Each structure stands twice: as structure tokens, then as C-alpha cells.
Amino acid sequence: MKVGVVIFPGSNCDQDTVYVLNELLGQEVVSLWHKESDFDGNIDMIILPGGFSYGDYLRSGALAKFSPIMNRVVEFANNGGYVFGICNGFQILCESGLLPGALLHNTNQKFICKNIYLTPDSKMAPPTRFLPRDRSLKIPIAHGEGRYFADKETLAQMRINGQILFRYCDEKGVVSEAANPNGSVENIAGICNERMNVFGMMPHPERASDDELGNTDGRLIFESIFKYIQENG
């Protein structure tokens, strides 16, 4: 597997992502600078990592979509390439129109960083296809603007298409208001596009992939993606 990790100025989870994919999961990783307008066509998947691209002073992800690399990423996605946005990367995908909906300020108006639990919803997409069915996943969140929102019609359509990938839940897997850390509509934590080649999530699987940190639930998500891509090309 060859993965391209895009680095915007202000990205700050890029090296974490590279470390996990390369050192821990043994994948080939190339770093893609935001000023580049092209990349190697052999890349299997692009990851837009977390951070505060261009400072995120206007609105999270709002400026990154205008960068040269993003034109190429959009083209890559439209041709069926796999694109995965984590946290700020998810925000950028929504801002770019590759994914439906938007990410608003958390309801408590504060940045929140803690471990939360996720339960997969649609089991058809790459990040969820090969996840264990019998338990929730413990994955950290770290964001100020992570409240997912989409209008009713869009949500209905997403449900029908199997585009809702993850919902916030409690340790036992129960989806409830109390388990919703940021006020996301229907506890949504991660989604994909209709074609299921573009996906994004607010929680950080790369922060739950190292055995030495005592939690490897995030690995399961990466491994599911890799397996899916290997099987489906």
C-alpha cells in the first residue's frame, strides 16, 4: 500500500500519521506538500491529517481547499481514488464538497480532547467493513469544531446510501445523548461519500494505534481500509 499524507502549513498530525502508517503498520508513505499540484499516480490512498491548516482563522478547513494540492486531490477522488480525512482533514473534505454536511463549533463552545467510544454504522465502507462487530472502539477526539451537521434530507439520503460510518456511543456501544461529546447530529462521528471512496472522521485513529500507548483500536480502522483496498483495488 502506498499512502500520500498531505501537509498543509498548520497541519500538526501529519507526522503522527506518517509514523503510525510507516513505522507501526509498515506501509509506504509519501509526504505531499500543499504547494505541489501533482503527485505520483501509483498512490493508493491520500490522507488529509489533523491540525489547523493555514491557522483555521476563517473557518476550519476553509482555506485549505484553495491550495494547489487540493485541486489534485479532488481530481484523484473524482477518479475513484481513496481519500481519508481525519479531524481537520474531515473538515477540509466537507469544505471542498467531497463530503456532505459541515462541522460546526462544539455545543459547549470549547475544544475537547478525550477518549470517546465509536460504534460503526454502515459496514460497507473501507473504514468499517472489517471492524469487529461485537464491541465499540475507544478512539480519542481533539477538536473545537467537530459538531457534524447535515440537513434532514441529506441525512435521510446518507442513511439509505450507507454513508454514516461512525456514531459516538458509550463503552457498551449504546448511542445516547450523554455519549455525544460535541452535539453532532445523530451522534455522527464519521461519514463517507456515496461512492465510498472518500471518508472522513473527527476522532483520531492514528492516536490509538501504538501498543506502547495502551490502545490500538485505531489500528483496526486503518487495517480495515487497507484490506478493503487490497480486495477491491
Q: Where do contacts with other proteins occur on this chain (CB under 8 A)?
A: 9-10, 12-13, 16, 19-20, 23, 50-52, 54-57, 110-115, 140, 142, 144, 204, 206-207, 209-210, 212-215
Grid cell at residue 215: 490502545
Closest to 228 measured CA to CA, from 120, 142, 154, 138: 120
**Could you say which of 94, 145, 169, 206 is catalytic?**
206
**Could you say which of 87, 94, 169, 192 is catalytic?**
87
Grid cell at residue 188: 455522527
Closer to other proteins at the Cβ: 57 or 232? 57
Give the distance from CA 21 to its chain's centroid.
Answer: 14
Closer to other proteins at the Cβ: 114 or 133? 114
Whole-angstrom distance, CA of residue 131 vs CA of residue 123: 8
Least gap, CB of 123 to other proteins (angstroms): 27
Verify whether residue 204 is a known catalytic residue: yes
Whole-angstrom distance, CA of residue 146 vs CA of residue 111: 9
85-95 burial string, b = 16+ CB within 10 Å, else e?
Answer: bbbbbbbbbbb
Verify whether residue 212 is a known catalytic residue: no
**Could you say which of 13, 145, 169, 204 is catalytic?**
204
Least gap, CB of 230 to other proteins (angstroms): 25
Q: List Cβ neighbours of 174 (8 Å cut-off, separation of 6 or more).
A: none
Least gap, CB of 172 to other proteins (angstroms): 14
Cβ count near 157 (within 10 Å)? 14
Verify whether residue 87 is a known catalytic residue: yes
Least gap, CB of 122 to other proteins (angstroms): 27
Closer to other proteins at the Cβ: 20 or 164? 20
Residues annotated as catalytic (active site), given as ranges: 87, 204, 206
